[in-house]
Chains A and B, each alone.
Chain A
Amino acid sequence: MKRWLLIAGRLIIAAIFLYSGYSKLREPWFQFEVSLESFKVLPEYALEPIARTMPWLEVLLGVALLSGILARWFALIASVLLAVFVGAAARAYSMGLNVDCGCFGSGGDPLGPKWFAEHGGMLVLALAVTVGAFVMSKRRLV
């Protein structure tokens, strides 16, 4: 049962990252650069390289999570990425910045309780999958 829950959680996280990367790739990369800039976290020279590569990394991460190869490590990377993203959003929200997160392309929900509930839920799920995957991996090795 736990194993199936873990697989289900992993597939949900995979789908989220695949959709997120795909949504960004459907738009010009400059759109994501504009979204990244609105967080006022990154230095200007870092915006373009991240805007160009992040969507592809998200797709690769989604594919890796779907495949199940080294799932615990990729789940860990997904958790870290989500944690960084939610942290940056929390900072922007506390500063009252007008941010379009660009998570699933442009024009998404503005930062607010609904946004944090959704993305916090994703983060909790990714963390649960990561911990579960490491625990199961350890048990198999014992």
Chain B
Amino acid sequence: MDIEVLLFLVVGGLSVFAAVMMLLDTNAVQSALFLVLNFACVAFLYLMLDASFLAMVQIAVYAGAIMVLFLFVIMLLGAEKAMGAFRQFKWVAPAALVLAFSFMFAVGAAVLQGNVEDRELPPADPMFRIAYSAPEFLPEVDVFLNGELAFDAVSFRDYTDYTEVAPGDYQVSFGRPGGDATTAIPAGSVTLASDTVSTLVVYNAGSSAPVIASVIEDLSHIDGDEGRVTVFNAYNGVEALSVVDPGSDYLFADLEDAQNAPVLLEGLPFGEASAVTLFGDGDFRAAVVPSTEGDLDDIIVRLRDVEIEAETSTLIVLTEGVEDEGVTPVVTNVAVTDTAPEFGGPEAIGQELFVRYVLAFEMVAMLLLAAMVGAIVITQRADIKPKPGRPTRRKVSRPLTSVISSQTGHDVSEERAIEQPEQPEPAGD
């Protein structure tokens, strides 16, 4: 039998046992302790259901704070002995049992017949962003989608935030900043499918008109100190690019040949994105070479300023820069995105709480405040009055200096008065 099923049966059975014992026990303190056991079992089930944060909250708040309050009140009132613990009405127990079993039967039938497992959520809208790497076209562009402005003033080597659109085919065109859609130059169409996150890389391909390529990104959670790296080749100078790791002294390396260098990516053709690769966090020690056969003199560019952060997705676009004195530099456009936090972890819950549910969160905070005030008001006795007693006389205590002088035997009040610095008079009100 699968270990997970076995654990579920054991822990689930224990939780049902604890609930039954809580019901049947005549001692209220023991009932409360069985309820704590039940809460602990449910917290374990939360862990099995990928809800690690809620499991801890369950232990701390439910099994800890709330149950301690219960035990405190039970012992305060002396209510642990429950003589005749059950209701006296003879018909209540059988009626409750019949209703309970019919409810369980109804829910069980609904769950088993309803094919809960086969249901699927409606697909999410696609998200996309623009990484602009076409310097021969314009240094800064407005991006139009089907003639409507999507992003304005995206500059070279820059990338935008993600936007959500309805799935479908889109005509993408680019215009000068401030211009309108009619003057924009079309760059082809892209298909944005549901449930995808993509980056539209805009680059030059020979002519000055921009070309657009869609790179699907994977923003799911990464376990561990790694980051995803995708390299897009928009460098028109050579047939294909390779990325090698030239070693630890990669900044100034003058190695004999590149064949000994570990190859990170090989033979990436122009206008295509590499497969997504996981790298450990830290500096991305990499150099771009035209082929892994040549030597390191051929290095096109060293990726010096690229750092891989843990749990991020990094897209590196290699582009030709603007030609200057006959030399075409290679420039990078590095787009870094945080990947999704771990499902059920505190980060994921916190993001939801403070972004989408912030209003509900504040209302619940107000509810807690109201409950606190309510508990105080309810338990406060209306008829409480101060006890009539003897009128007490206020004692006038001796000044501190006279106490010190009586104990030490010499007068300190004079010295203190001399040593105190003169305080400036406060100017007016």
Indicate, yes or no, whether A interacts with B: no
